[in-house]
Amino acid sequence: MARPGGFETAEQQQQQQQQVLSRQQERHYRLLAELQALVKALPSACQQRLSYTTLSELALALLDGTVFEIVQGLLEIQHLTEKNLYSQRRQLHSEHRGTAPPSGAEAGALPPAQGGPAVLQAPQPATAPCSPAA
């Protein structure tokens, strides 16, 4: 019979650690495979810039939940900023409601020259995202 706190406990702890490491390794391989699949959809010039080592390090970084927490925090900040800018835009619009917008301007949008925020547009994809830097 083994003593309490003796070899069985140490063996159990070692087995639990091995299981955790095994799960992390499986998750790492799964993330790496997903990243490799995403890279295959990129133009060949971009694929050449993303080595196996780079993808593996990225997969390791994703294993930690810190990255996701940071992204979630940034998303919250973005939403609050957009809400604030929209509120400012509405306030400026209501203050300037009596003036006609300049020709060619959108109805309800103030041009940045008058102190109103610029109309936000979705980012457009670059024509050559992987062109080498000069």
Helical spans, DSSP H, in 41-112: 44-49, 52-63, 66-95
Q: Does residue 80 lie in a domain region?
A: yes
| Residue 110, Cβ density class (10 Å: 0-12 exposed, 13-18 middle, ≥19 buried) | buried
Q: Does residue 49 lie in a domain region?
A: yes
Cα(first)–Cα(last) distance of the chain, in Å? 72
Q: Does residue 28 lie in a domain region?
A: yes
Predicted local confidence at residue 52, as pLDDT: 92
Of the candidates 35, 77, 88, the one whose C-alpha atom is nearest the C-alpha of residue 60 is 35
Q: Does residue 121 lie in a domain region?
A: no
**pTM recorded for the entire structure:** 0.47
For the stretch 126-134, contacts whose Cβ atoms lie closer than 8 Å and that sit 24 or more positions apart, written own/partner, are: 129/43, 129/46, 130/42, 130/43, 130/45, 130/46, 130/49, 131/45
Q: Does residue 42 lie in a domain region?
A: yes
Domain around 45: 12-92
Q: What is the DSSP letter of 134?
A: -
Q: Does residue 114 lie in a domain region?
A: no
Q: Does residue 78 lie in a domain region?
A: yes
Q: What is the DSSP letter of 112?
A: G
pLDDT tens, the chain, 134 aa long: 445 555 668 888 888 888 888 888 999 999 999 999 999 999 999 899 999 999 999 998 888 888 889 999 999 999 999 999 999 999 999 988 866 555 544 444 444 444 444 444 544 544 455 655 54
Q: Give the number of domains in the chain.
A: 1
* pLDDT per position as a tens digit, 66-84: 888 999 999 999 999 999 9
Q: Does residue 103 lie in a domain region?
A: no
